[in-house]
Structure 1
Amino acid sequence: MAGDQGAASPFRTWFAEGLAQRLAQDGYEQVAAEGAEELQLVLHFVERDRFRPFRRQAQGTFVAVIAESSEPIRDAVREAYRVLIGNLGNLLMYIGPAQDGQALAPGQPLEVHFVTLEQGHYVEPYGPGQEASFFDRVYARLKPLATSTLVINNEFIPDLEEELWEGDELTEQISRAGKRLDEMGLLPAPFPLDEVLTERDRRHLMKLFGVGGLSYCNFSARKDSTRFWMSASGVDKSNMREIGRDILMVKGYDGARNVILLSVPPHVTPRRVSVDAIEHWMIYQEFPGVGAILHAHAWIDGVEATPFNYPCGTLEMAQAVVEKLRQAPDPAHAVVGLKNHGLTITGESLDEIFARVGDRLVSQVPMS
């Protein structure tokens, strides 16, 4: 664990020391962030209105950005999502006083608003005398994200059959699915990174993660026993047309190298496949009856959710969804809730999924 505190106020020192002590109970060793290698977790304190990214050296480094508000927080996602992106964080802890007129100070009531890259939002309150339980709860929120394993590297192999260079009926279904979610108001627009990040930071993000933009929701359709089509990362899901750029063919997963393998046309400069490709790959491998998968930042009342809020693109998220499908009466026609995140829905085809659940999808994902 590394701490990057900047100018430490009494409150910031109190919060950092309390969280560090709780992390130490679970075996984390605190080191200075600058110059350290193979970091697992960085606590990165920033000013809300001044971006100061921590430039991690490896994908496995998880950066928890911590920012303060001088007033009670009314709309954490609207107020601070740009702080998360602008500081290249994986998670934001946005802290404000619990009541008007208060200042953030050790021992005073406060609220920690957790904001995820997927725009999830949940709150942990603090009251005087609650130090031990408070830092336990903050750590419990932080640990599943900080200990997850990302599977986001892609290898592009220019061996896609020529007859598929323009797609097929399955890619047409994927394109229709994007338009359908957009018509339902369930398709957030891609987040414009260039409005927040400097060119240097965008190049760093691209080099480390292959990320050129952020978008939400994804779709896939099984092609055969080993391959499936899937939407790309960072594209406008309501306007997917080009094969290899907007929709890609996933042909496998190399566990030894932790790499998603893709077949692409030789003449296309490909875009990275959705970060959820590992989840879809695991589902198709274990459940031969699944013909298509829809992941949406939406909800259906009564759905049971995974126990933890794992990030997109992690083995742990994929494993949690697969375990829920194993428990489902019919894994090939199931709806799995992702805690504080959205839904993964399996079906015979994307058209069948929309016919079965489309009228029950709502945009408000419950947070807990």
Structure 2
Amino acid sequence: MNLDRDEPERGTFTIIGERLTPRLAWCAEGLRQELQRRGHEFFERPIPDIRLVLSVFPHDKPQQYRRKAQATFVVGITELPEQPSDVLVAGYPYLLRALANLVILLLPGQEGIEAHFITLERGHYTVRHRPGRDDDFFAEIYERLHPLASSRLVINNIFRTDLEPELWNGDEITEQISRAGKRLDAMNLLPAPFPVHEILTERELRHVKRLYGLGGLSYGNLSARKDRNRFWMSASGVNKAKLEVIGQDILLVSGFDPAIPAIILSVPPHVQPRRVSVDAIEHWMIYQQHPEIGAIVHVHAWMEGIRSTEINYPCGTIELAQAVSRLLAQEPDPSRAVIGLKNHGVTITGRSMDEIFERIEGKIIPQVPMS
């Protein structure tokens, strides 16, 4: 994988869906025309390595597209007859039922149709249609969609049973991470995991975990540097308030293989390891580029007066990692910084885990601004 890329690729796409309502058919056709106008190649039927799939379905019949390639980005598109009281709560299950990376809900607004974007990270933002301005509407949807759909995930894990025996039970750094998880819980910064088991079958859940590189749908993560090239990090889908077992709750990230691409993890030989947090590529890049940084905390919250990424790239993508690293490089002191992730949360760096909490206590805003 070439980590450096001047601009997002313009790849292949397809649209799937049957028995569409007039509004859904209008949306599908408008997006098809806009994508082709921007240089994307349309296929009537999906090819094995299709880059983008627009999966359009009635709200009472969510459809699933089973990817043949990990790089395929699926956008679920549906409509609801009226505005729900909580769009995120109403829309998030469609993200899972459609096995999608992103869902767009078409809802009636006061001045016309509204396209509500729902992301896996619980992001929610809106593009509004203005009468007689169809082209502008689909162009704006494209501008919000394309960077996400063309971003590159790093969610593969390579487990190597080469962790030093003296680290099988952790060290003083993993103890700091464990304490930090409890502090996040005490600060009410660990949202309850989404009840995914209530929505998906076990087979669908296994597919979602492979698809997103997740151990489950929990939120937030912590890491701390072990040495120049390695760092400890919380696992995916675990209770961050109870980080105890090395290789399952906390893992040692020992490298990155860009050819696969994959995160390399050193684990004890006697433990069935969990996947590391999907944000490991972001933390890896930060630690590599900023050796003075000793710890990182990511939470779905906000702080006033911080720099923020301009695009809400998905977790676990090269593009998000690069965007955060670039913003850190602009900070007066990258080792004591807070970077906002648009429509998502914050990445907080520090010399140590304890030092991070000394700085942020009392300054965290639980609600992430959406735009």
TM-score, with structure 2 as normaliser? 0.94
Contact 2:28 2:56 in 1 (8 A): no
Query: For structure 2, which runs of at least 5 residues remain unmatched after alignment?
Result: 1-12
Separation (CA, whole Å) in 1 of partners of 2:45 and 2:69: 13
Match of 2:87 in 1: 76
Contact persistence 1:173–1:351 (CA under 8 A): yes
Residue 15 of structure 1 is aligned with which of 27, 30, 35? 27
Deviations along 1:191-247, whole A, 9 cap, x unmatched? 233221122222333444543411111100000011000000111111111110010
Q: Which residue number in structure 2 is paired with residue 103 of structure 1?
A: none
Q: Give the Å deviation of 1:339.
A: 0.9
Partner residue in 2 for 1:48: 59
**How many angstroms apart in 1 are the aligned matches of 2:20 and 2:335?**
53
Counting matched residue pairs gives 359
Whether 1:61 and 2:64 are equivalent positions in the alignment is no
Q: Does 1:351 align with 2:354?
A: yes
Partner of 1:340: 343
**1:105 corresponds to which residue?**
none
Tell me the equivalent position of 2:248: 245
Q: 8 Å contact 2:24–2:78 — kept in the other structure?
A: no
Conserved 8 A contact 1:59-1:209: no
In structure 2, what is the equivalent of residue 111 of structure 1?
114
- Match in the other structure for 2:17: 5
Partner residue in 1 for 2:307: 304
Change (3 A) 1:151 1:254: same
SS state at 2:121 partner: coil
**Of residues 194, 197, 200 in structure 2, which corresponds to 1:194?**
197
1:102 maps to: none
Kept in 2: contact 1:293–1:344 (CA 8 A): yes
- In structure 2, the CA distance between the partners of 1:295 and 1:212, relative to structure 1 (3 Å rule), is closer
Q: Which segment drifts farther, 302-311 or 44-53?
A: 44-53
Give 1:57 deviation, angstroms: 1.2
Q: Does 1:233 align with 2:245?
A: no
Taking the aligned partners of 2:99 and 2:133, their CA distance within structure 1 comes to 31
Cα distance per residue 1:239-260 (max 9 Å; x no partner): 1111100100000001122110
Q: Per the alignment, in what secondary structure is the counterpart of residue 50 of structure 1?
A: coil
Aligned to 1:173: 176
Query: Which letter maps to 2:182?
Result: K
Specify every segment of 5 or more residues in structure 1 that has no aligned partner in the other structure, as ranges: 100-107
| 3-state DSSP of counterpart to 1:137 | helix
Is contact 2:215–2:238 with CA below 8 Å preserved after alignment?
Answer: no
1:25-174 correspondence runs (5 A) = 25-34=37-46, 36-99=47-110, 109-174=112-177
Alignment partners' CA distance in 1, 2:86 and 2:360 = 30
Aligned equivalents of 1:18 and 1:279: distance in 2? 35
2:267 to 259, 264, 267: 264
Q: Do the aligned partners of residues 129 and 297 (structure 1) sit closer, same or farther apart at CA in structure 2, a change above 3 Å counting?
A: same
Kept in 1: contact 2:278–2:316 (CA 8 A): yes
| Higher alpha-carbon deviation: 353-362 or 310-319 | 353-362
SS at match of 1:236: coil
* Distance in 2 between residues matched to 1:60 and 1:358, nearest whole Å: 39
Q: Which residue of 2 aligns with 1:183?
A: 186
SS of aligned partner of 1:133: helix
RMSD: 1.4
Contact 1:120 1:340 in 2 (8 A): yes
**How far apart are the structure 1 equivalents of 2:328 and 2:214?**
29
State the TM-score, normalizing by the size of structure 1. Answer: 0.94
Q: Deviations over 1:164-189 (max 9, x none)?
A: 11111111111111111111111112
